[in-house]
């Protein structure tokens, strides 16, 4: 396995590069790709920046230039279901581009001329991710944050969920917008801005992929503040815990 590891922001991957053995750096397309060994797994880590185009370009480069055989996207997301709370982990079963609308020519959400609206994540990768996330939640998460930090983020005991993630070129910070998405996409658990773009590229190249997201906010009017606070203080600890367990089972 040669694993491509993508996050959108530096704060979502902080500390990961320091764990890579024999790292080799290469810059192309305004991004730095770092290849090395993590446990027994060969990894290429990269920051995509925000949004679907950035994520798609990054995934394509990982596949075509670096020859990765699997892709994992890790980062944060907004909660889109009542059972999902800040600090929980969502593993994608499938991903949809919530801003794709070529109706009346194609059904809502369907990618024109590809005939797919929801891209299924790889079941084996996702099961391995779920095991890593569950071990992280049981072993690390309880001591990861102080009591003060937990109450500042209104966090309860973290849970791991498996379900639909929607991506779009829009930060969701409105309860009305979120309610509309929830109505249009039954079973939706989380919203973010990159996963379904990586999913489309992997579908087109026939590559297995997985997406794991930690919930940073409730995608409502409080989201911009909650998101920034979570990203600055917590997000990378989740990535490190989950990815190291994934790579060193």
88 tagged catalytic? no
- Chain positions 162 to 181 lying near ligand ADE, rule: CB under 6 A, are 171-173
Q: Phi then psi for 211, rounded to 5 degrees?
A: -130, 125
Q: Which stretch binds ligand ADE (CB under 6 A): 95-103, 143-151, 158-166, 217-225?
A: 217-225
Task: Give the SS3 label for residue 142.
Answer: helix
Binding flag, residue 227, ligand ADE (CB under 6 A) = yes
CA dihedral 96, 99, 105, 106 (to 10 degrees): 10
Residue 80, interface with ligand ADE (CB under 6 A)?
no
Q: Quick check: 78 binds ligand ADE (CB under 6 A)?
A: yes
Using the minimum distance from each CB to ligand ADE, give the nearer residue, 7 or 44.
7
Strand 89-97 to strand 188-192: parallel, antiparallel, or no bridges (unpaired)? unpaired
Tell me the three state secondary structure of residue 223: helix
Considering the candidates 88, 192, 217, 218, report the single residue annotated as catalytic.
Answer: 217
Binding part of the chain for ligand ADE, among 29-37, 102-110, 117-125, 191-199 by CB under 6 A, reads: 191-199
Q: Which of 12, 110, 194, 218 is catalytic?
A: 12
End-to-end CA distance of the chain: 14
Any contact of residue 106 with ligand ADE (CB under 6 A)? Answer: no
Closer by beta carbon to ligand ADE, 110 or else 217: 217
Pick from 35, 217, 235, 242 the residue near ligand ADE by CB under 6 A: 217
**Cis ω on the peptide bond leading into residue 157 (within 30° of 0)?**
no
Q: Which of helix, strand or coil describes residue 19?
A: helix
Instruction: Verify binding: residue 76, ligand ADE, rule CB under 6 A.
Output: yes
Residues 129 and 242: beta-carbon distance below 8 Å: yes
What are the φ and ψ backbone dihedral angles of 200, each rounded to 5 degrees?
-65, -45
Instruction: List active site positions.
Output: 12, 217
State the residues that interact with ligand ADE by CB under 6 A.
76-78, 171-173, 191-193, 216-217, 219, 223, 227
């Amino acid at each position: 396995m040669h694993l491509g590891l993508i996050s959108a922001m530096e704060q979502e991957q902080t500390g990961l590069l320091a764990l890579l053995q024999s790292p080799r750096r290469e810059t192309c397309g305004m991004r730095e790709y770092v290849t090395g060994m993590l446990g027994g797994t060969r990894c290429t880590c990269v920051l995509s920046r925000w949004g679907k185009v950035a994520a798609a370009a990054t995934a394509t480069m990982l596949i075509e230039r670096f020859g990765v055989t699997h892709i994992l996207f890790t980062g944060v997301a907004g909660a889109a279901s009542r059972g999902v709370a800040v600090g929980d982990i969502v593993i994608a079963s499938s991903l949809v581009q919530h801003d794709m609308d070529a109706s009346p020519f194609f059904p809502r959400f369907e990618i024109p001329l590809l005939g797919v609206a929801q891209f299924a994540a790889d079941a084996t990768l996702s099961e391995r991710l779920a095991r890593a996330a569950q071990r992280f939640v049981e072993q690390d998460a309880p001591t990861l944050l102080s009591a003060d930090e937990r109450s500042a983020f209104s966090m309860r005991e973290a849970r791991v969920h498996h379900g639909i993630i929607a991506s779009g070129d829009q930060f969701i910070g409105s309860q009305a917008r979120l309610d509309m998405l929830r109505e249009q996409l039954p079973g939706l658990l989380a919203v973010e801005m990159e996963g379904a773009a990586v999913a489309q590229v992997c579908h087109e190249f026939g590559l297995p992929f997985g997406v794991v997201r930690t919930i940073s906010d409730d995608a409502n009017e409080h989201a911009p503040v909650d998101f920034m606070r979570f990203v600055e203080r917590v997000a990378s600890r989740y990535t490190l815990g989950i990815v190291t367990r994934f790579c060193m089972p």
